[in-house]
Amino acid sequence: MPAILKESKESKSERIELRLTPSTKRIIQEAATASHTDVSEFVLQSSLTEAEIALSRRTRFVLDEEQWNKFVEILDRPTTEIPALRRLLTEPSALER
């Protein structure tokens, strides 16, 4: 079960409506029945699982040992002073002037 469903104490007040073909609806109904749940819960759990996967691709990455060692080596290198970046981060922005 997606983590967001386990932790949420919020009441269900929002709705999402879908338009389906009859064959698509039948497949979802059969899958819900096979999962021993109703269609709403099946669609919700499936959607949340896919949402978590899609979001995790943006926030997590997997490296093998060689790639990890290279990554750590790069992180451990001494920093390089970039004057333009220092100015950008220390001078007031156009909105602050």
**Digitized pLDDT (tens) for each residue of the chain, 97 residues in all:** 555 555 567 888 999 999 999 999 999 999 999 999 999 999 999 999 999 999 988 888 889 999 999 999 999 999 999 999 999 999 988 888 7
| Long-range CB contacts for residues 10-13, cutoff 8 Å, separation at least 24 | none
| pLDDT of the residue at 1 | 54
pTM: 0.55
Domain ranges of the chain: 19-90
> Cα separation of 83 and 87, whole Å?
6
Is the distance from CB of 2 to CB of 46 less than 8 angstroms?
Answer: no
| pLDDT of the residue at 96 | 82
| pLDDT of the residue at 47 | 96
For residue 18, the one-letter residue type is L
